[in-house]
Amino acid sequence: GRYCKNASVGKKFFENTFKIGDSGRQYDAVLIGSLRRLSVEPDVVVVYGQPVQIMRLIHAHVYDTGEKISADTVAEAAVCSSIAWTHTYKKPAMGIPCRGDRAYGGTQPSEIVFTFPYSELERLVSNLEALGGENTLPIAPHMDWETPNMGDYAMKKEYLL
């Protein structure tokens, strides 16, 4: 196949793709829409963004929890897998959108995905505001600084003689 050497590897590949249906059928349908237009509260929010933007969302999550974000991926079905992970464990996740998401969903080459429970939305927004100030984007490079040489890596006078 396209991503796996043989059927045995393909089976393992598919098994390693996190799915809600792994424990049997739970739903008849999935409702997808813009947060502004949905008439019901969703279970999971999906955000596409540049890695530096997703980094800020991770910081917002970590700000008052100290908990890491998981990325469980084989780089295929990653958006679906991230949604399933968040829905199942009620925790944020991140993923690398797959070829299909990029070809048919319009996801840009520089974008990754972040998913989180809708119940966390207000907390994340509040934490982004609390982090504000120096944490704005884009992050400016620090140009007025010289990297110090440390210990064994420093050039010593006797090496030059």
Whole-model pTM: value is 0.80
Q: Give tens-digit pLDDT for 43-77.
A: 999 999 999 999 999 999 999 999 999 887 777 88
Q: Give tens-digit pLDDT for 110-135.
A: 999 999 999 999 999 999 999 987 66
Please report whether residue 2 resides in a domain.
Answer: no
Could you tell me if 79 and 98 are in contact, meaning their C-beta atoms sit under 8 angstroms apart?
yes
- CA 117, CA 140: separation in Å to the nearest integer? 31
Please report whether residue 160 resides in a domain.
Answer: no
**pLDDT for res 108:** 94
- CA 161, CA 156: separation in Å to the nearest integer? 10
Omega of the bond leading into 51 within 30 degrees of 0 (cis): no
110 is in which domain, residue-wise?
7-137
Please report whether residue 156 resides in a domain.
Answer: no
Please report whether residue 115 resides in a domain.
Answer: yes
Number of domains in the chain: 1
Q: What is the dihedral of CA 107, 32, 94, 68, to 10 degrees?
A: 160
Whose tokens are 């809600």? That residue is 20
Residue 91 has pLDDT above 70, yes or no: yes
**pLDDT for res 154:** 65
Least confident range from 16-20, 84-88, 137-141, 156-160: namely: 156-160
Q: Where are the alpha helices (DSSP H) in the chain?
A: 7-15, 51-62, 78-89, 99-104, 121-131, 157-160
**pLDDT for res 23:** 76
